[in-house]
Structure 1
Amino acid sequence: MKFLISPNGSYGDIYPFIAIGRELQNRGHEVVLVTSGYFEDVITKAELRCEPVGTASEYKRTIHNPDLTHPRRGMRVVADTLTNYLPIAYDTMNRLADDDTILIGSSLAFAAIILHEKHGIPWIPVHLAPSIFRSNISPPRVQKTKMPSWFPDALKNAVWWIGDRGVIDRIWCPGLNAFRKTIGLPPVRRIFKDWIHSPDLTIGLFPSWFAEPKPDWPKGVHLTDFPLYDQGEVDPDPAVEAFLSEGDPPVVFVSGTATTGEAAYYEASVAGCVQAGLRGLVLTRFPDQLPELPARIRHFHSIPFSWLLPRCAAIVHHGGIGTTSQAMKAGIPQVIRPYGFDQFDNAIRASRLGVATEISTNAYQANRVATELIRVVGNEVMATTGHEVARRLNAQNTVAITCDAILGSDRR
């Protein structure tokens, strides 16, 4: 069987699909990842085949767009980028597909959905975070504020409709429907309501204790667990080991692997860490964002979280689902500063579990950072809760279970 896997996003979005691809390949299937050439190296190092859609330099131009991390304009940057590459992604997968092919796509793998619609090729969507599932019973938090659960259903439906027709359709649908027209498909609208889900099988890569399925979720949803893949077998820089060994466990600061305009975040982070009297470890692939660092705070390019986080006092981050789940696995407290996408919902869920606190982007100043760090580092209640949550995350092989669901679907 051939699997064409189409993920989009940052490293944290790509890693789970590399893990799925490796497991499927180990079971004797042919696997091809169709994604940005920016990730070709990490995919080939995992001994998987990559068919690039766009170049690494084009991806870098996108992530250097200052609007990418803006709470409103960021969605348009993502939409414009993905719809521009939609014809290439579609043509690539159409060329690779045969009669024994199954398509696996992330939440924004529109080319896979369209190929399924046009040619009937089996398609399985795999969603990384629960915010993608709409519910009136328990609405996900998609912005800074959460839709109140006590709103009557008619009002909730109106809010969803206004958001779809007034914002999402205007941003996503022009480019999407322009391409659909070229291949003879009708236009779509309200794409995040039902279109990105399959009633036969839609996989959620998170556990039910993190987001309990609701009766009004789409049909066919099957939850597994967090994949927790980060290439942890890679040997870290010896300088990292030296830094960790020379003092107390540090606080990790990170703001995602695809963010380049976060100078204010890192400045407040460093100053807050100093005020709290803690050691710090800053992770970014783009060090030009960083202020001058004191001796007790070090910068490193990238370190596997599965290796690093168990040796740290806490982590301050953006709320991406990969970082959130890796921190929960390590059992360390989190301070989350979300700025967009699924991050607001992930932050509130981690906070409700008792393993995280949240700082808004507007409130993210050195004094507030220091206050939160002093509150969470060494907090016995958070430590106990963190260890309980961590035990849940070490109970099963999520990737194997996910592949069992994929191979056991009636789409074969």
Structure 2
Amino acid sequence: MKILIIAAGSHGDVLPFIALGRELQRRGHAPHLYAAAVFETVAREAGLRFTAVGTAEFYDALLRHPDLNRPLRSLGVMARAMEQTGETAWPILDAAVIPGETLVVGSTLAFVIRSLAERHGVPCVTVHLAPAALRSENTLPGPANGITLPPWLKRLFWRLVDALVVAPTLGAVLNRHRRAIGLAPVRRPMGAWLNQSDRVIGLFPDWFAPRQPDWPANLALTGFPLYDGLPGTDLPSDLADFLAAGPAPVAFTSGTATARALDFFATSVAACRLSGHRAILLTRHADQVPASLPPGVIRADYAPFSRLLPRCAAFVHHGGIGTTSQALAAGVPQLIRPMAHDQFDNAARAVALGVAARLSLRDYRPAAVAAALTRLDTDATLRRRCAEVAAGVGTGTAVAEACDHILALAAQP
């Protein structure tokens, strides 16, 4: 089977699709990954066919956009990025389809898979990495998560979000694309239409996000993919030496979907001075960290979380689903500073599990961070709960289970 995999987003969003591609290839199929050019090396190292649908320069400019991690403004940024990428991607993907021999798999915002399915009659699979992508009228999004409102008011809220926020941004871009290729416009792209695929997969477990009554009937929840690189990938030698040279440090990351985190890392360094912790600052962008780092603080471009986090005293991060799931699997206490997207929802779920604390952007100040780290160090109940949750995460069979669902669809007439 020829399987086209379209992955939108940053490293944390694309790595699970590389994992799916590797497993599908191992089973004798022909997956082909389409993503931004910056992922070509890691995809080819995994043995996958790869086609770039966005330049490295465009990707870097997107990460540095000041509105990318602002809850409302980010949709406009993503919409413009989708439009530019789609102009390049559509003719490539359209030409790659062989009806009767092709299946398409895409991430939440890979709207193009439904265009391919409608145009060519090929089966398609939507894969959601985070539960926040599965809208439910039982809950509210982002910072409003947890607010109690009557059901009718929640439904009204979602309709206002669609009309005032989604329609002028993502909706406008999607419908320009659909009109250009002769397809009917979509009224609510983030509503039911988003999951009008032959199969919908959620790459998270039901104990993290219990199934909601209004989620798609054809949804399969498989667990966390927990893929952070090829098997055998080890820690960089300088980072391994740093870990061995002193007590367990605190690891800090603002996620791979931003290149504007200087304030975050400067505040984190100041907090470690106050709390007495050693620190690892994880970012590929050297200009995000202070020019001079004190003793006991190191910057690393990248480290596989499955090997790093079990050796850390705590993990401070943005609440991305890949980052959160790796921290759950490692059993490390978490301090989460959500900014946008699914991060508020993931943070709320981690706090509810009893394994994390949360600070808002406004409250992320050296004294507050230092106090939170001290609490994570001394809270025996939280640390015990971290170990309990880690034991329940499992051994990483989610990718194989997701591929079972994909190939079951491919086997149907």
Corresponding residue number in structure 2 for 1:188? 186
Quote the RMSD (CA, aligned, Å).
1.4
Counting only pairs closer than 5 Å after superposition, residues 19-30 of structure 1 correspond to structure 2 as: 19-30=19-30
Q: Distance in 2 between matches of 1:411 and 1:125?
A: 17
Gap runs ≥5 in structure 2? none
Q: Which amino acid aligns with 1:266?
A: F
Q: Distance in 2 between matches of 1:207 and 1:46?
A: 25
Which string of whole-angstrom CA distances, capped at 9 and with x for unpartnered residues, describes residues 161-195 of structure 1? 00000111111122221121111111112111111
Corresponding residue number in structure 1 for 2:217? 219
Corresponding residue number in structure 2 for 1:352? 352
Larger mean Cα displacement after TM superposition, 231-240 or 16-25: 231-240
Q: Which amino acid aligns with 1:235?
A: D
Corresponding residue number in structure 1 for 2:277? 278
Give the drift of 1:87. Answer: 2.9
What is the TM-score with the length of structure 2 in the denominator?
Answer: 0.96
What is the TM-score with the length of structure 1 in the denominator?
Answer: 0.96
Give the drift of 1:389. Answer: 0.9
Give the drift of 1:70. Answer: 2.3
Q: Which amino acid aligns with 1:387?
A: A
Counting only pairs closer than 5 Å after superposition, residues 4-403 of structure 1 correspond to structure 2 as: 4-98=4-98, 99-137=100-138, 139-140=139-140, 142-146=141-145, 148-149=147-148, 151-198=149-196, 200-231=198-229, 233-291=232-290, 292-395=292-395, 397-403=397-403
Q: Is the 8 A contact 2:337 2:358 kept in 1?
A: yes
Give the drift of 1:147. Answer: 5.8
Q: Distance in 1 between matches of 2:145 and 2:325?
A: 22
Q: Distance in 1 between matches of 2:412 and 2:19?
A: 21
Gap runs ≥5 in structure 1? none
Q: Distance in 1 between matches of 2:68 and 2:164?
A: 20
Give the drift of 1:295. Answer: 0.6
Q: What SS does structure 2 have at the residue aligned with 1:34?
A: strand
Larger mean Cα displacement after TM superposition, 6-15 or 386-395: 386-395
Larger mean Cα displacement after TM superposition, 337-346 or 51-60: 51-60
Q: Which amino acid aligns with 1:111?
A: V
Distance 1:351 1:304, change over 3 A: same
Which string of whole-angstrom CA distances, capped at 9 and with x for unpartnered residues, describes residues 15-72 of structure 1? 1000000000000000100111111111011110111102111111111212212232
Q: Percent same amino acid among aligned pairs? A: 43
Larger mean Cα displacement after TM superposition, 225-234 or 352-361: 225-234
Q: Distance in 1 between matches of 2:123 and 2:289?
A: 46
Q: Distance in 2 between matches of 1:32 and 1:302?
A: 25
Distance 1:411 1:107, change over 3 A: farther
Q: Is the 8 A contact 2:82 2:173 kept in 1?
A: no
Q: Distance in 2 between matches of 1:289 and 1:365?
A: 17
Q: What SS does structure 2 have at the residue aligned with 1:103?
A: strand
Give the drift of 1:349. Answer: 0.2
Q: What SS does structure 2 have at the residue aligned with 1:226?
A: coil
Give the drift of 1:288. Answer: 0.5
Q: Is the 8 A contact 2:69 2:341 kept in 1?
A: no
Q: Which amino acid aligns with 2:130?
A: A
Q: Which amino acid aligns with 1:132?
A: A
Give the drift of 1:396. Answer: 5.0
Larger mean Cα displacement after TM superposition, 66-75 or 220-229: 66-75
